[in-house]
């Protein structure tokens, strides 16, 4: 068995649960946030930094690694763990999301997707078999089935057609998958249509994957809708298997995701926000570039145990960001990822102690979320910046 999921506790009300995932590269406690190491590196951090945060699982992107340096090269170097010097668990996505969001001139057929590289325009073809083989070469602990991630908004007709492909591809991925030291997860799709989500959850559950991801959410739809779709989907997934909400999220989304029964999360947001000077605190996000922090001779958060907070003042971080010094990105990333480790550890403790409802209410009352408008503006601004774009 390449992956063992043990449920350690459930909060009596609602769906929140705590567990552990045993993989060939160690055990990870859930709920779990996986930092994103797109190109075999968590942007601006070394594996020493990532380990010091207490992170146990990271995500790497198949699409990016397939293009650069190439999956065969990674295999030749002893696999992804050895290549990036990360001895703990790794999950690779299937490339589906990036093929559909970054690839140019894509042509979707029954058999797979033809696309052009965003790096050099070269032409490539991904089938379920190829995506599975590429992930086997990379050698992560968890691989994902190749799926079609539909955009938001999406017509019901197209969502239905894409879901049909996703389901046939899921069967083909399972059939093609051979590595016994690697688990394969299926991905529920269905856009914003509850009936399609139901159908997808039921169909994939029947195939017997090692775990189940909920894909195609957090792609622009309103948050309320995301939570509703999540609630509808999760209940139809097998309780004994880990559930992974892809591409989520912000601190408040993680708390809400757990409340809806999710065990695993990943998102570029915490690291991308960090590189833009946005730092998490229990009261919400602050922007370190703000002039108000110029003379702040105290850490970002007094009770934070991360290297950044233990070592530097907010004034120093402000200075580094104003001067665009490279160290700024590392220090901010360390803080935000450590914040999420502390958050998921607190969530887990609250579930096991039976105080999750209280924790959730207290956290959400204290944490000021960035509004949808601010988020949209930031996305637009970030897309124009050049520093370590993901």
Residues in touch with a second copy (CB under 8 A):
39-41, 43-48, 68-69, 73, 76-78, 83-85, 294-295, 297, 307, 311-313, 315-316, 318-320, 322-327, 329-331, 386-388
Residue 48: active-site member: no
In the bound state with a second copy, the residue whose beta carbon lies nearer, of 34 and 45, is: 45
In the bound state with a second copy, the residue whose beta carbon lies nearer, of 85 and 374, is: 85
Supply the minimum distance, in Å, between the C-beta of residue 388 and a second copy.
5
Catalytic site residue from 111, 181, 266, 303: 266
Supply the minimum distance, in Å, between the C-beta of residue 72 and a second copy.
10
In the bound state with a second copy, the residue whose beta carbon lies nearer, of 66 and 185, is: 66
Supply the minimum distance, in Å, between the C-beta of residue 386 and a second copy.
8
Residue 266: active-site member: yes
Supply the minimum distance, in Å, between the C-beta of residue 46 and a second copy.
6
**Which residue's structure tokens are 């249509």?**
193
In the bound state with a second copy, the residue whose beta carbon lies nearer, of 2 and 41, is: 41
Supply the minimum distance, in Å, between the C-beta of residue 39 and a second copy.
5
Nearby residues of 93 by Cβ (< 8 Å), 6 or more positions away: 59, 61, 62, 63, 144, 246
* Tokens describing residue 369: 């979320």
In the bound state with a second copy, the residue whose beta carbon lies nearer, of 174 and 387, is: 387
In the bound state with a second copy, the residue whose beta carbon lies nearer, of 44 and 344, is: 44
Supply the minimum distance, in Å, between the C-beta of residue 297 and a second copy.
5
Catalytic site residue from 93, 141, 147, 263: 93
Q: Which residues are catalytic?
A: 93, 266
């Amino acid at each position: 068995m390449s992956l063992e999921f043990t449920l350690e506790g459930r909060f009596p009300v609602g769906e929140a649960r705590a567990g552990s995932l045993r993989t060939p590269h160690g055990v990870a406690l859930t709920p779990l946030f996986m930092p994103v190491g797109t190109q075999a590196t968590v942007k601006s951090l070394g594996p020493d930094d990532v380990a010091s945060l207490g992170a146990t699982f990271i995500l790497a992107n198949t699409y990016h690694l397939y293009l650069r340096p190439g999956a065969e090269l990674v295999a030749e170097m002893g696999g992804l763990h050895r290549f990036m010097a990360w001895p703990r668990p790794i999950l690779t996505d299937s490339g589906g999301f990036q093929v559909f969001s970054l690839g140019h001139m894509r042509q979707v057929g029954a058999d797979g997707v033809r696309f052009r590289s965003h790096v050099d325009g070269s032409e490539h073809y991904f089938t379920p078999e190829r995506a599975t083989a590429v992930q086997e070469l990379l050698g992560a602990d968890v691989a994902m089935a190749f799926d079609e991630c539909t955009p938001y908004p999406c017509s019901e007709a197209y969502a239905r057609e894409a879901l049909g492909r996703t389901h046939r591809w899921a069967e083909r991925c399972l059939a093609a998958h051979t590595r016994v030291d690697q688990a394969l997860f299926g991905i529920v799709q269905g856009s914003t249509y509850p009936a399609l989500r139901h159908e997808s959850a039921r169909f994939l559950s029947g195939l017997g994957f090692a775990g189940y991801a909920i894909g195609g959410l957090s792609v622009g739809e309103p948050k309320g809708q995301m939570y509703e779709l999540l609630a509808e989907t999760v209940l139809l997934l097998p309780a004994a298997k880990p559930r992974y909400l892809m591409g989520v999220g912000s601190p408040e989304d993680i708390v809400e995701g757990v409340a809806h029964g999710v065990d695993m999360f990943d998102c570029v947001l915490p690291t991308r926000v960090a590189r833009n000077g946005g730092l998490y605190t229990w009261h919400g996000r602050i922007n370190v570039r703000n002039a108000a922090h110029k003379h702040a001779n105290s850490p970002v958060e007094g009770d934070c145990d991360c290297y950044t907070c233990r070592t530097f003042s907010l004034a120093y971080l402000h200075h580094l960001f104003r001067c665009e010094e490279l160290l700024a990105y590392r220090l901010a990333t360390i803080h935000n990822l450590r914040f999420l480790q502390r958050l998921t550890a607190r969530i887990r403790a609250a579930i096991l102690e039976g105080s999750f409802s209280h924790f959730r209410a207290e956290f959400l009352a204290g944490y000021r979320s960035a509004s949808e408008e601010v988020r949209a503006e930031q996305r637009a601004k970030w897309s124009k910046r050049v520093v370590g774009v993901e």
